[in-house]
Amino acid sequence: MIEIRNVRKSFGETMILNGISLDVHQGELLCLIGGSGSGKSTLLQCINGLEPIQGGEILVDGVDICSKSVSINHLRRKVGMVFQQYEAFPHLTALENVALAPRVVAKVPRREALANAHRHLTHVGLGDKASFYPRNLSGGQQQRLAIARALAMEPRYMLFDEVTSALDPELVAEVLDTMRTLRREGMTMVVVTHDMDFVRESADRVAFLSAGEICEIGSVKQVMMNPQTEIVQKFLGRRSSS
Amino acid sequence: MSDYHFHWVMALRDLPSLLQGAVVTLQLTILSMIIGVGVSVPLAVMRWQGRGVWSGVAGAWVDVARNTPVLLQVYAVYFGLGAYGFNISSYAATLLAISFNNIGYLIEIFRGGLATVPRYQYISGRSLGMSATQAYAYIVWPQLLRIVFYSVMTQMIWAMLNTSLGLLIGLRELAGAAEQAQSVNYRTLETFAMAALLYYLMAKLLILGAELLYARLYGRR
């Protein structure tokens, strides 16, 4: 379980997260939605320790990630992350992309790491692309590669930061399908997305962020079908009419 | 018509001593590049991040190394250290001075290269649990090296040619050996022409060696 307690984060004078509290339960898919600049992506980066927080605490499986005695590198192995930007390593083949972190960080022997990498590539439907360099893969394939790469560290949690936003529309489906597969397999996921169809179909719970605070949180039915606050009603209304 | 008559046979007798000098030149070049890359890479990273004492040190180093003649850098090390009682050999002085010069140029080369590797490459390495050093070593560095490879090669050739300044503090590297030989055999043009040819061949050899090393470490360019 990931427990987020009253987390505050600011860049200089600008408050980004203004006291966020939130639990991510084992096996659930939690979607974070909201307008640009509402703090959703920053919250994900804080969970993975990529951004320091100025107040509150974040516990992953009961361990405070900000504690000085905790190795953040060790903790990150539990929490995989995929970004909006295609960040496949261009100097490595797809297979090497996936095998790198297990070899370097987890010290898995080369042969074993490559075999595992092949399994993870197959899992995201890239089994036949193992020897390809990222420049020869489509955007959707690169994002699936990024997912396989994160999965190779055998994380307990996966964070997705607008992973389909930079993709051509016809490539979005293959990435979302991969995420749905993970969900069926019981992976705990936190997904920042603007894709409301995906939220309606796949999320267990939804949190709506605005100005660094959680406006509403609850089941898809509660938040998406029957929003209580005006700001969420407006946001969803604008989406569905567009 | 020129009155100069070429006597290659007389000059060729000094080829062995020129080759000895060439070995010194090669050693100095390779050692000064190893020191240069080793020191400039961490300084370039710190200068690129742009804060802290070491960023300032790197900036000052670049400034001094690039804006003063290499000859004066050689003199500064040899006579400067000598004035403070550190009497070092002309070999060590040349090595230190050329390394100093290399570091100044290489910091700027690597810093420019770092700016072209997207930040998310580093961040995604960290998000996979890598330490900062691992992310630089396995993700940023190989991409960086591909980008700056030929700039670094140019610097290496520049360093090799600059080692000839060692002759002014009495070092018998290739130019020094040629200088010495022609003062005895009086075949000035032939002797220096041989030296020039050897410099050219060494430059080709160094680049070929670096390309093979790169291919060995990181695969096809």
Q: What's the pLDDT score for residue A240?
A: 59
Which CATH code of 3.40.50.150, 3.20.20.100, 3.40.50.300, 3.40.50.720 fits the domain covering A2-241?
3.40.50.300
The residue type of A82 is V
- Residue-wise pLDDT tens digits, A170-200: 889 999 999 999 999 999 999 999 999 899 9
pLDDT of residue A168: 86
Burial zone of B18 (CB within 10 Å; 0-12 exposed, 13-18 middle, 19+ buried): buried
Q: Does residue B103 contact residue A27 with C-beta atoms inside 8 Å?
A: no
State which amino acid sits at residue B59: G
**B80 and chain A in contact, CB less than 8 A:** no
Nearest C-alpha neighbor of B43 from the set B128, B115, B108, B119? B108
Residues 6+ apart with CB under 8 A from B77: B88, B93, B96, B97, B100
Q: Which helix (H) or strand (E) holds A8?
A: strand A2-11
The third-level CATH classification (topology) of the domain covering B14-120+149-214 is MetI-like fold (1.10.3720)
Q: What pLDDT does residue A13 have?
A: 86
| Minimum distance, in Å, between the CA of residue A231 and any CA atom of chain B | 33
The reply to whether B128 touches chain A by the CB within 8 Å rule is: yes
pLDDT grade for A242, boundaries at 50, 70 and 90: very low
Cross-chain CB nearest to A87 (options B121, B131, B146): B121
CB contact under 8 A, A76 and B127: yes
Domain ranges of chain B: 14-120+149-214
| B134 CB within 8 Å of a chain A CB | yes
**A218 beta partners:** A206
Q: Which residue has the tokens 């001075």?
A: B97
pLDDT at A6: 92
Taking CB atoms and an 8 Å limit, are A83 and B146 in contact across chains? no
Nearest Cα residue in chain A from B119: A87
Averaged confidence pLDDT in chain B: 91
pLDDT band at B13 (very low <50, low <70, confident <90, very high): confident
Helix (H) or strand (E) holding A172: helix A169-184
A222-239: buried (b, 16+ CB within 10 Å) or exposed (e) per residue?
ebbeebeeeebeebbeee
Average pLDDT over residues B140-154: 91
Q: Tell if the CB–CB gap between B129 and A87 is shorter than 8 Å.
A: no
Exposed / middle / buried, residue A116 (Cβ in 10 Å: 0-12, 13-18, 19+): middle
Residue A209, helix vs strand vs coil: strand
CA distance B89 to chain A (A): 43
Q: In chain B, which residue's Cα lies nearest the Cα of A155?
A: B128
A151, closest residue in chain B (CA to CA): B128
Interface of A with B in 34-63 (CB under 8 A): 48, 50
Chain B residues near residue A87 by CB distance under 8 angstroms: 118, 120-121, 123-124
Distance from CA of B105 to the nearest CA of A (A): 26
% of chain B beyond a pLDDT of 70: 98
CA nearest to A97 within chain B: B139
A145 and chain B in contact, CB less than 8 A: no
β-bridge mates for residue A82, sequence order: A160
Amino acid at position A199, single letter: V
Decide if B143 and A90 are in contact by the 8 Å CB cutoff: yes
Whether B11 shows a pLDDT value over 50: the answer reads yes
Nearest Cα neighbor of B61 from B100, B22, B88, B23 is B100
Question: Residue A16 CA to chain centroid, in angstroms?
Answer: 19
Contacts 24+ apart (CB under 8 A), B90-93: B90/B166, B90/B169, B90/B170, B90/B171, B91/B24, B91/B28, B91/B166, B91/B171, B93/B166, B93/B169
Is pLDDT above 70 for A239? no
**Whole-number pLDDT of residue A103:** 95
Which tokens hold the place of B153? 């090669």
Tally of residues, chain B:
221
What is the distance between the alpha carbons of residues A54 and A17, in angstroms, rounded to a whole number? 10
* Residue of A86, A87, A95 for testing the chain B interface, max B β-carbons within 10 Å: A87
pLDDT on residue B48: 87
Which of A45, A85, A104, A110 has the most B C-beta neighbours within 10 Å, making it the best mutation to test the interface with B? A104
